[in-house]
Structure 1
Amino acid sequence: MSNFTEIINQDKAVLVDFFAEWCGPCKTMSPILKEVKDALGDAVSIVKIDVDKNQSLAAKYQVRGVPTLMLYKSGKQVWRQSGVVSKNELITIINNGSN
């Protein structure tokens, strides 16, 4: 994913989801991310990155477990967490992190 830097350098919040097809908790996150996008609309970009297809990117960002979620604002990482995160928690983090 050569345009990753370009993607995270947007003015709006960018939530990156490092996931794997075989990962159960990742499957749990998918509908949660959709609900977050539906709730926040254009205020956030959500990017899903398959760690098996983007191993060098996952290594660069030291993704050791999936799902790993990262929030970027203007290219700067403002939050990171591994594991499932609830819709309400994510919305709060995005709203607080994107100020």
Structure 2
Amino acid sequence: MKFSSIFLLIISFAFLSCNGQVSKESQTIDAKAFSEKIAATPNPQILDVRTPAEFSSDHIDKAVNVDWLGDSFVAGTEKLDKTKPIFVYCKSGGRSQSAVKKLEELGFKNVYQLQGGILKWDAAGLSKPSNKITGMTLQDYNKLVDSDKKVLVSFYAEWCAPCKKMTPYITKMQTELADSVTIIRLDADKNKTLMTEMKISELPTILLYEKAAVKWRKSGFISEEELRKQIQ
């Protein structure tokens, strides 16, 4: 009798697990898969968690903007359907990762995050073609790095945490090493055309040129010590 009761309890639990609840699912997928998932989803919910200024300059078609760094992120997601897939992205993946965790806490069941953010989306050629030039052109950039001295170009963004850590010593090196190397800092958000043309999809990204040719390239954080070694 006792065995039968335990057996029935196990069966009941299994039934409820299979039919009573839907397990949460979140995935981080690359730009191509993200695009294909959106295309295969009727009336997709696409959430851009960047700032309104970033959103207005460039965003995925049909996306809605709820700023992760704003004060009303939770309220801004209330109109979204928690039972349907939601596609989340930011600039490079940092903010969207935090937003995904919050969305799961709020009860969203199927959350897809764009790996590498809209930088990867643009680099994959998925953005709508545009004749609008934002910031420096590739032609201007090539003139900038064509020098007898070494030229170090640092692509950064104000919201990028590793970029912020590197800013103090890069700006210091601009002065200290001025005789031997020209160090240029370019804001990625103000040079979108150049970012797309050069297929730069991660921040920070640093390039070292000698006689207009790339001699070294690095994406991601690099210490002052290592950076100085590369320049020498």
TM-score, length of structure 2 as denominator length? 0.39
- For 1:16, the equivalent position in structure 2 comes to 153
- For 2:83, the equivalent position in structure 1 comes to none
- For 1:93, the equivalent position in structure 2 comes to 230
Distance 1:94 1:71 in 2: 7
Deviation at 1:38, TM superposition (A): 4.0
Distance 1:10 1:42 in 2: 13
- For 1:44, the equivalent position in structure 2 comes to 181
Does the aligned pair in 1 maintain the 2:207–2:216 contact within 8 Å? yes
Between 1:47-56 and 1:29-38, the stretch displaced more is 29-38
Larger RCO (alpha carbons 8 Å, 6+ apart): 1
TM-score, length of structure 1 as denominator length? 0.86
- For 2:191, the equivalent position in structure 1 comes to 54
Deviation at 1:37, TM superposition (A): 2.8
Deviation at 1:50, TM superposition (A): 1.1
Distance 1:49 1:40 in 2: 18
| Superposed CA offset, 1:12-60 (max 9, x none) | 1111111111111111111121233344232111111111111111112
Letter in 2 for 1:31: P
Q: Match of 1:30, SS?
A: helix
1:62-73 aligned within 5 A: 62-73=199-210
Unaligned runs of 5+ in 1: none
Whose radius of gyration is greater, 1 or 2? 2
Distance 1:16 1:44 in 2: 10
Letter in 2 for 1:19: Y
Number of aligned residue pairs:
95
Unaligned runs of 5+ in 2: 1-135
Letter in 2 for 1:92: K
Choose between structure 1 and 2: higher strand proportion. Answer: 1
Letter in 1 for 2:174: K
Percent pairwise identity: 39
- For 1:75, the equivalent position in structure 2 comes to 212
Moved over 6 A (4+): none
